[in-house]
Amino acid sequence: MRKLFILLFLFPLSLSAQEKYFYELRGMEDSSGTTHLFYRIFESTKSSCSYIDVPSTPYTLIDNSIYQFNTESKEQKKRFDAGLGVTVDCTHWGSNIEKYIFTSLHPDSVITIKSGGGGLSLYNYLEFSKQNTFDLGLGNPNGFSIDHTNRTIILTTPIYELIVKRRSWEEKLGKSFSFTLGDSLWDYSYFRNIPDSLLIDFTVTGVNPFSEGIYVGIKDTSIVLSKDFGKTFSPIAKSPFDTWDLGEYLKIESSIFDKDSSSFYMVFKSNFIKTIFLLKKEASEWAVTELSAHSEDFHFSIEPSVSGSYYFSEKDSLFVASRFGEVTDFVISLANQIKGLYKKPNSNILYVLTTDELFEVNTETKEMTSLKKLPVSVEELKETPSSVKLFQNYPNPFNPTTTISFELDKPSEITLTVFDALGRTVSVLVDEQRNSGLHEVSFDASQLSSGIYFYRLETGDFVHTKTLTLIK
């Protein structure tokens, strides 16, 4: 029953139907200085489902996918699928992108934590460039960071499920798993086999990009700071939330360092409500101050090039703060509620996302430029893929059926084949020409035994293979 509860928490059914809006803005800069923005488009549609002896049942289909917007070319494309629906037998299923980070100055160098499931099953896994996956069991990590100095990924011990060496069920927050991108990461199919040498003895929530080796996080009831890449640490303040709150109601979204490296912001999230704290060293003591309005209307983005400065919004109004919030000034009001902010470093450009429009705001002149309006129909979101892609099957592990998806950038002759561990052909699922776009194929393994299998997509110069796991 607990697994079903978690699934519904990830994909709430209480959201009203027929809604559609933008929210959750993020951004990154590529090596050429171009800004790439990432945001979600939420849309719900009422429908019904019936199956054999199951009577017609109403349900809400939710699309909650993440889109990428190139501010140079002004092109939008769907980047990550997410949402809630039903299977052919009227079982609820869902998938989501819990967290994602970039490993270099390129929007495709992304590592994601994906979750999903249906009925009473739930899974979480880490995926790198759609090629390598890492099973996270059933826990969703609180912390997910990258140290660009030594190209190290830091993944925090999940809550609830026994995944990293935990002493008891009462131990909520514990260690963090640290590995380099060149490490044999993908050999660790389950967290149980991680050696002690790769573990950091506190929940890492953020890495300082301005100063090497400085990590911040939580240990027991304290906020802690490390200056040697997590090898040792010291408590600097009492956590604003106790351990039970973090396990039951709250997620640690991130810790963001100020340019001065002696101050940082901790962002906590409960459902759609964010709570943001400033931790600032004053003489020999650390002061903890809440900055947010403790509501879903509050959004926040630091000014990376100016110490103590950040932008924030309340409902439809935008403000700028200086001296760590001691001084605040009104910037501009918009027609609709603000749902996200991203400040471009070393510039006077602030990107503002409202419920129905994406804007570029000049922070000096306060001039606004509309970049993208909310599509009025699903058809406007459909685009021809820019490349051939083979996606991970869903669900995985599976029994006995699963769905394999792939994208084609043009009409192509393709072959989609399933092999066993010895390389013998098990099934040829597709051997024909298919049009461009997204395609889904069902694979029925009811006549096969449990084990690891492989599926391969071949078209022209593209050949890609992924694994799938059958568990009976």
Q: How many CB atoms lie within 10 A of CB 209?
A: 16
User: pLDDT band at 3, cuts 50/70/90?
Assistant: very low
| Rg, C-alpha atoms of the chain | 23
Q: Which pLDDT tens digit goes with each residue over 339-390?
A: 999 999 999 999 999 999 999 999 999 999 999 999 765 444 455 566 788 8
Q: Is the pLDDT of residue 113 over 60?
A: yes
For position 136, what pLDDT does the model report? Answer: 55
Q: Which of 148-157, 349-358, 454-463 has maximum average pLDDT? A: 349-358
In this prediction, residue 437 carries a pLDDT of 81
**For residue 51, pLDDT beyond 80:** no
Q: 411 or 70: which carries more pLDDT confidence? A: 70
Highest mean pLDDT of the ranges 10-24, 27-41, 268-282: 27-41
How far apart CA 186 and CA 134 sit, in angstroms, is 6
What is the predicted pLDDT for the residue at 409? Answer: 83
| pLDDT value of position 339 | 94
Q: Which domains does the chain have, with CATH numbers?
A: 1-137 (no CATH), 384-470 (2.60.40.3080)
pLDDT of residue 4: 31
Residue with tokens 């997620």: 251
Provide mean pLDDT across the span 323-346: 93
Average pLDDT over residues 108-116: 80
Q: With cut-offs at 50, 70 and 90, classify the pLDDT of residue 149.
A: confident
- How much is the mean pLDDT over the chain? 79
pLDDT at 25: 96
DSSP assignment of 267-296 equals EEEETTEEEEEEEEEETTEEEEEE-S-SST
> Which of the two residues, 179 and 337, has the higher pLDDT score?
337
- In the numeric block, which tokens belong to residue 34? 């171009």
Q: How far apart are CA 22 and CA 357, in angstroms?
A: 7
186-240 pLDDT, tens digit per residue, is 444 444 556 677 778 888 889 999 899 999 988 878 899 999 999 999 999 988 7
Cα-Cα-Cα-Cα torsion 24, 202, 262, 328, nearest 10 degrees, comes to 30
Compare 151 and 337 and report the one with higher pLDDT: 337
Q: Which of 177-181, 246-250, 371-375 has the highest mean pLDDT?
A: 371-375
How far is Cα 411 from Cα 329, in angstroms, rounded to an integer?
54
